[in-house]
């Protein structure tokens, strides 16, 4: 393992523990990432020194809290190369961001007979809001097919996106299949038909460089807790011309301009969409996580994870009785590996792996239409991050072999 990344691993105190008397091999990073000491320390520092409500008080603590909160917004803007900081809205997470869009942009722009295009690989967060919007508005929900190896069928995307399409909602990176979608090409197709593209970036932003201007996306959503930040903080990026035209998502303090007895007016973006007391420490913690990731370099992280997958995937494919979903070519398979063992339920598999200190996910991964598409009820899933190493992979492989022997599968 590269010495730099071995030193980075030491920044994560939770990884130093043992689980069931075995070293912890944490391979559930698609669900949530662990936190470096720098982020933990930043949260403690804020509560010990600067805790106050933002945008309200003229006293010193209030001004410091507001400055740090807005500084975090600027860090997010720079991290994803958004044109303006006011195009960055803080939310509770990816799910909240996508529901915000369905309740605002969707409600005001979708009518009966319109079409919304998604794919079979969508997380429920980027499916159910559009499904329910289509039902309410009597619109049509269309699904882009997948290729035989689980990649997005771009030819089918070109067929499904038509002049009737108003919204294309797509994952940048699948949380099940280990594939990265060509968002730039999808955006070009979408815009040819005067539709908007909404991207679920929850599995992309933590693992690779993301430039929303280069991708030419209209909206982009992601979560802080999957990229070293605290839980309960997320981001919605949107083009300012679209955000300005959208109604507020919630009403209350700090999102108003003037309130009269019988009518009110709204303040500017992004605050129009940030009603009430926000998750200030979540934003500040996310800002610190961005500092940490930036210092390492997102391309360095992407390259390192690719090396790890190139090591892990062929070895997993070589285990008799294992089925790996998604591409079997490590050059196009990212750090999410979903798999099953013949005649063993994935929940039993995950429980057995946990006895050997290996933490993986088991279930439908909030992607039930995809599970049905694949012809399975559930899968186990190992997902990697830059603090994992080959020893974690070897521990996973050994645990799978021991599980096979124990269950005689």
254 and 12 Cβ atoms separated by less than 8 Å = no
Q: Is 353 helix (H, G, I), strand (E, B) or coil?
A: helix
Averaged pLDDT, 137-157? 98
CA distance 74 to 287: 9
Cα of 220 vs its chain's centroid, Å: 10
| Paired residues of 324 in beta bridges | 339
Position 2 confidence tier, pLDDT thresholds 50, 70, 90: low
> What CATH class does 41-295 carry?
alpha beta
How many residues are given for the chain?
409
Q: Of residues 231, 319, 366, 409, which has the active-site annotation?
A: 366
In the annotation, is 366 catalytic? Answer: yes
Q: What is the mean pLDDT of residues 185-210?
A: 98
CA gap 409, 341 in Å, rounded: 8
pLDDT for res 367: 97
The neighbour count for residue 393, using CB atoms within 10 Å, is: 22
Q: In sequence order, which residues have a C-beta less than 8 Å from that of residue 114 and are 6 or more positions away?
A: 137, 139, 140, 164, 165, 166
User: Would the pLDDT of 57 be above 90?
Assistant: no
Numbered ranges of CATH 3.40.640.10 in the chain: 41-295
Contact in structure between 180 and 154 (CB atoms under 8 Å): no
For the full predicted model, state whether its pTM sits above 0.85.
yes
Binned at pLDDT 50, 70 and 90, residue 347 comes out as: very high
State the virtual CA torsion across 362, 368, 372, 378 in degrees, nearest 10: 10
pLDDT classification of 1: cutoffs 50, 70, 90? very low
Q: Which of 31, 36, 27 is nearest to 308 (CA)?
A: 27
CA 249 – CA 71 distance, rounded (Å): 23
- Give 8-46 pLDDT, tens digit per residue: 999 999 999 999 999 999 999 999 999 999 999 999 999
Question: Residue 33: beta bridge partners?
Answer: none
- Range(s) for CATH 3.90.1150.10 in the chain? 3-31+297-407
Per-residue pLDDT, averaged over 250-270, amounts to: 95
Nearest CA among 288, 277, 295 for reference residue 72: 288
Q: Identify the three-state secondary structure at position 110.
A: coil
**Euclidean distance between CA atoms 266 and 257, whole angstroms:** 5
Q: What is the CATH number of domain 3-31+297-407?
A: 3.90.1150.10
Separation between Cα atoms, residue 257 and residue 267, nearest integer Å: 5
């Amino acid at each position: 393992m590269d010495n730099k990344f071995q030193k980075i691993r030491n920044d994560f105190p939770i990884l130093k523990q043992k689980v069931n008397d075995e070293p912890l091999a944490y391979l559930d990073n698609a669900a949530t990432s662990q936190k470096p000491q720098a982020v933990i320390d930043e949260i403690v520092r804020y509560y010990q020194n600067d805790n106050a409500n933002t945008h309200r008080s003229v006293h010193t603590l209030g001004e410091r809290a507001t400055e740090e909160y807005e500084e975090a917004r600027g860090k997010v803007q720079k991290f994803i190369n958004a044109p303006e900081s006011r195009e960055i809205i803080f939310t509770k997470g990816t799910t909240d961001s996508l529901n915000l869009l369905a309740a605002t942009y969707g409600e005001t722009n979708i009518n009966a007979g319109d079409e919304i295009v998604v794919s079979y690989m969508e997380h429920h967060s980027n499916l159910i809001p559009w499904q329910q919007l289509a039902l309410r508005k009597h619109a049509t929900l269309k699904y882009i097919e997948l290729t035989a190896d689980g990649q997005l069928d771009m030819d089918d995307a070109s067929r499904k996106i038509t002049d009737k399409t108003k919204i294309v909602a797509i994952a940048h990176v699948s949380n099940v299949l280990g594939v990265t979608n060509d968002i730039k090409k999808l955006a070009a197709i979408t815009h040819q038909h005067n539709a908007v593209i909404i991207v679920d970036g929850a599995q992309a932003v933590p693992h690779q460089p993301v430039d929303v201007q280069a991708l030419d996306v209209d909206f982009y959503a992601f979560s802080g807790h999957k990229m070293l930040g605290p839980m309960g903080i997320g981001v919605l990026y949107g083009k300012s011309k679209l955000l300005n035209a959208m109604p507020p998502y919630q009403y209350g303090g700090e999102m108003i301009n003037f309130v009269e007895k019988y009518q009110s007016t709204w303040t500017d973006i992004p605050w129009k969409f940030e009603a009430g007391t926000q998750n200030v420490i979540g934003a500040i913690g996310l800002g610190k996580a961005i500092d940490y990731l930036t210092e390492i370099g997102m391309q360095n992280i992407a390259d390192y994870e690719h090396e790890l997958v190139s090591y892990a995937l062929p070895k997993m494919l070589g285990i008799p009785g294992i089925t790996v979903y998604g591409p079997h070519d490590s050059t196009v398979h990212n750090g999410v590996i979903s798999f099953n063992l013949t005649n063993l339920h994935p929940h039993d598999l995950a429980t057995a792996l946990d006895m050997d200190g290996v933490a993986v996910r088991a279930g439908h991964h909030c992607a039930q239409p995809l599970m049905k598409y694949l012809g399975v009820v559930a899968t186990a899933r190992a997902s990697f991050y830059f603090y994992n190493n080959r020893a974690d992979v070897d521990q996973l492989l050994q645990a799978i072999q021991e599980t096979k022997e124990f269950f005689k599968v």
